[in-house]
Amino acid sequence: MLIVMRVDATQEDIDRVCRKIEELGFRPHAMPGANRTAIGITGNPGAIESGQFEDMPGIAEVIPVTQPYKLVSRELKPDNTEIHVGNVVIGGPEVVVMAGPCAVESEEQTLRIAEHVRSAGAHLFRGGAFKPRTSPYSFQGLGLEGLKILAKAREASGLPIVTEAIDAESIGMVEEYADIIQLGARNMQNFALLRSAGRARKPVLLKRGMSATLDEFFLAAEYIMSEGNYDVILCERGIRTFADHTRNTLDLSIVPAVKRISHLPIIVDPSHGTGKRHKVAPMSRASVAVGADGLIIEVHDQPEKALSDGPQALLPESFAELMEELRRLAPVVKRSIRPSPDH
């Protein structure tokens, strides 16, 4: 159920409704919007008797929620969610670009690539310190040491950091060091991890599971939000299909599908989405054209020596060229990309 407050409702009216929800043993989620506040209710096993709220001051409407998810839905919050990370806004008019290597391999490699992507105009720096690998024999990441290197890269480049947490152990460390906590495709339905991310105080970048439907993707985001963390960025990264010309099938149609139902920002990962360097720039341009709020792109200056995902990494000069193209493309779809500080 969803309670829509009147435009002229006071904070006291809102607090009173929230207290009432708590007294009933449920959890209120007040979402201030451009015109009015809506309050979502979670924790209720079944329908709630709406009559209990009828006479409370400040309430405009009590609406039963028709979807299996509540907090991600535009029914609760009609206007887009904007997530502030440093001076970057994700979900606003500007398209945001996150870039960096798949994995933090060493301090030199990380600082070098951070400087490349910064000067090309990236807005955030990515790099995995904890790597979820298909094979237990593949490079698993530098762990805490990798997070410390990322912190140095942030200091040197001024770019906020996005990096992945893979389990209950790593999420606390990632929350401490990163600006955005990434949850990977393989963990999209790790419900315990989603709940932990929901209790974290940093925004969460949630990647779509490789066989997840839209509803499953939304419900994963709902897990995070139901714990009180409303700063969730969705990320399409390709799904498993029969197609074998590409590592995954990048499902760009999910961008308008998400926008129609949810207020959450959605970005696209054309690197994991295609797995092949030559497809990354075309699919990045397509992502901006289709209305994505941002991109997350793997860049490496020595991809042949990369410890993971070398074949899909853009070289720094190709990334810089792509940024330039995207800056020119974005205005066609009424968006913009902040110019690089070096241009």
Give yes or no for a contact between 284 and 322, defined as CB atoms under 8 angstroms apart: yes
Q: 2 is in the binding site of which of ligand PEP, Mn ion, none (Cβ under 5 to 8 A by kind)? A: none
Q: 184 is in the binding site of which of ligand PEP, Mn ion, none (Cβ under 5 to 8 A by kind)? A: ligand PEP
How far is the C-alpha of 51 from the C-alpha of 308, rounded, in Å? 57
**Of residues 58, 121, 128, 275, which one binds ligand PEP by CB under 6 A?**
128
User: Which neighbouring-strand residues pair with 83?
Assistant: 90
Q: 185 is in the binding site of which of Mn ion, ligand PEP, none (Cβ under 5 to 8 A by kind)? A: ligand PEP
How far is the C-alpha of 137 from the C-alpha of 119, rounded, in Å? 35
Nearest residue (CB) to ligand PEP, 132 versus 311: 132
Closest contact distance (angstroms) between CB of 76 and ligand PEP is 27
Nearest residue (CB) to ligand PEP, 247 versus 327: 247
Choose among 102, 101, 103, 129: nearest CA to 116. Answer: 101
Taking CB under 6 A as the rule, does residue 185 contact ligand PEP? yes
Closest contact distance (angstroms) between CB of 127 and ligand PEP is 9
Helix H, strand E, coil C: the string for 108-158 is HHHHHHHHHHHHHCCCEEECECCCCCCCCCCCCCCCHHHHHHHHHHHHHHC
**Of residues 77, 116, 154, 272, which one binds ligand PEP by CB under 6 A?**
272
What mask of x and - would describe binding to Mn ion in positions 89 to 118, judged by CB under 5 A? -------------x----------------
Taking CB under 6 A as the rule, does residue 184 contact ligand PEP? yes
Give yes or no for a contact between 270 and 280, defined as CB atoms under 8 angstroms apart: yes
Residue whose Cβ sits closest to ligand PEP? 184
Taking CB under 6 A as the rule, does residue 124 contact ligand PEP? no
How far is the C-alpha of 248 from the C-alpha of 238, rounded, in Å? 5
What mask of x and - would describe binding to Mn ion in positions 273 to 312, judged by CB under 5 A? ------------------------------------x---
The tokens of 318 are what?
A: 């190709």
Closest contact distance (angstroms) between CB of 39 and ligand PEP is 33
The tokens of 184 are what?
A: 């990977």
* Site residue total, ligand PEP (CB under 6 A): 10
Nearest residue (CB) to ligand PEP, 113 versus 329: 113
Nearest residue (CB) to Mn ion, 186 versus 338: 186
Q: 202 is in the binding site of which of Mn ion, ligand PEP, none (Cβ under 5 to 8 A by kind)? A: none
End-to-end CA distance of the chain: 50
How far is the C-alpha of 83 from the C-alpha of 90, rounded, in Å? 5
**Segment contacting ligand PEP by CB under 6 A, of 58-66, 171-179, 182-190, 254-262:** 182-190
How far is the C-alpha of 171 from the C-alpha of 287, rounded, in Å? 29
Residue where the block lists tokens 């714990």: 227
Nearest residue (CB) to Mn ion, 58 versus 303: 303
How far is the C-alpha of 160 from the C-alpha of 85, rounded, in Å? 7
Restricting to residues 202-231, which ones interact with ligand PEP according to CB under 6 A? 207
Helices (H), 165-291: 168-177, 191-199, 214-226, 254-261, 270-274, 277-290
Taking CB under 5 A as the rule, does residue 269 contact Mn ion? no
Restricting to residues 32-91, which ones interact with Mn ion according to CB under 5 A? none
How far is the C-alpha of 212 from the C-alpha of 194, rounded, in Å? 15
Contacts to ligand PEP by CB under 6 A: 102, 128, 132, 184-186, 207, 237, 269, 272
Contacts to Mn ion by CB under 5 A: 102, 309
